[in-house]
Amino acid sequence: MAYKLSKAQIKKVVANGSKKLYDYCRDNNIHYVVTGSSGGLDSAVTLGFAARACQLARKDGFALTSVGLIMPCHSCADAGNLGQKAIEKFGAQEIYIDLTSVCDFITEEIPHLNAQIRKVLKTTKGQNSLNNWSWSEKISSGNIKARLRMMLGTYHVARMLGGMVLSTDNLSEYMMGFWTINGDVGDFGIIQHVFKGLELYDVARYLGVPKEIIAAKPDDGLGVAGGDEDQLGAAYPILDQVMIRQIQAGFDLNGGWEQMKTLKNIKGVPEKVVKRLCERALGTAYKRRGTITLNREDLGLPPIKKIKL
């Protein structure tokens, strides 16, 4: 793969992202930006952008503080150590929230709840969900942790500070729907449209993200599988290459399933991998659409301007 960002492009990305964040905070009178520091590349890069936004703010005499959250929840110690290293590197204020006991308290209810769910599935002949039960349990366990991070972590802290949460999702994961709804998203996304495999690592090096974080195996720390790439079904550079080629050939991430019949073959990538990634993209389109809201016309209600009081 020949595609690679030039040094000039990387410099521009960092300058633009930092300034856009600062401008938004200044224009909306926001003085705190909160990042969940998981020890991974995405959160470290986000903290790097936040640090530069804070530098721009200081030059203007505007008070802006970056806050990094360490939120262990049956997590490995290495993740926490790397998260703290990123916070220290980029000069953020650290807040530590141990979510383990809260998670344990919630999961005690899970067996009773799951028994009721299985009863509904058996009554309604939901065999597909029953067949996928074991995998769903793993995903659900990870989702609970992600939503706890949001509920007692990022959004609670941001609310109490009067600030906002920075999203740490990248474009590769956005295309795959690899995030938890109402969990690990934020209010302001800097790297949402940056490919992880082909672009983000170079941005991370430019920002000065610690080498240990760059070298670490990508892992969301939710314990669902053996790391992010295992869950996604391909290494990030391969994922990026496949999706770029498909989109250039007319593939619509949010389109219909008939596209699966006309997928483009990718040299050096097994057909089953291409198919799996495209299926995942189409199958998670509902996440990218967000909440669907019916308007008054959909419901047959009169336009507000035509209501006579």
241 falls within a domain: yes
Q: Is the pLDDT of residue 34 over 90?
A: yes
Backbone angles phi, psi at 35, to 5 degrees: -130, 130
309 falls within a domain: no
Where in the sequence is the domain holding 249, given as residue range(s)? 233-288
Domain with residue 134: its CATH number is 3.40.50.620
| 71 and 177 co-located in one domain | yes
Q: What is the pLDDT of residue 222?
A: 59
Task: Name the more confident of 50 and 233.
Answer: 50
Q: Assign 226 a pLDDT band (cuts: 50, 70, 90).
A: low
Interior CA angle at 182 toward 117 and 118, to 5°? 5
Q: Is the pLDDT of residue 60 over 60?
A: yes
Q: Assign 64 a pLDDT band (cuts: 50, 70, 90).
A: very high
| 108 and 202 co-located in one domain | yes
2 falls within a domain: no
Confidence (pTM): 0.91
| 205 and 248 co-located in one domain | no
Measured in residues, the chain has a length of 309
296 falls within a domain: no
Q: What is the pLDDT of residue 26?
A: 98
| 98 and 139 co-located in one domain | yes
77 falls within a domain: yes
CB atoms within 10 A of CB 168: 27
293 falls within a domain: no
- Taking all residues of the chain, what is their mean pLDDT, rounded to a whole number? 93
Q: What is the pLDDT of residue 227?
A: 66
Task: Kindly state the average pLDDT of the residues 215-224.
Answer: 70
| 161 and 124 co-located in one domain | yes
CB distance 158 to 165 below 8 Å:
yes
Q: What is the pLDDT of residue 225?
A: 55
Per-residue pLDDT reduced to its tens digit, 275-300? 999 999 999 999 999 889 999 999 99
CB distance 196 to 41 below 8 Å:
yes
CB distance 18 to 52 below 8 Å:
yes
Task: Kindly state the average pLDDT of the residues 250-275.
Answer: 95
Q: What is the pLDDT of residue 269?
A: 94
Last residue of a domain, one of 170, 195, 221: 221
| 279 and 197 co-located in one domain | no
| 264 and 217 co-located in one domain | no
Last residue of a domain, one of 196, 221, 246: 221
| 9 Ramachandran zone, left/alpha/beta (phi>0; psi -120 to 50) | alpha
Q: Assign 182 a pLDDT band (cuts: 50, 70, 90).
A: confident
Task: Kindly state the average pLDDT of the residues 89-94.
Answer: 98
Q: For the chain, what is the domain count?
A: 2
Per-residue pLDDT reduced to its tens digit, 103-159? 999 999 999 999 999 999 999 999 999 999 998 998 888 889 999 999 989 999 999
307 falls within a domain: no
| 143 and 165 co-located in one domain | yes
Q: What is the pLDDT of residue 183?
A: 77
Task: Kindly state the average pLDDT of the residues 194-210.
Answer: 97
| 152 and 49 co-located in one domain | yes
| 210 and 244 co-located in one domain | no
| 131 and 208 co-located in one domain | yes
| 217 and 244 co-located in one domain | no
304 falls within a domain: no
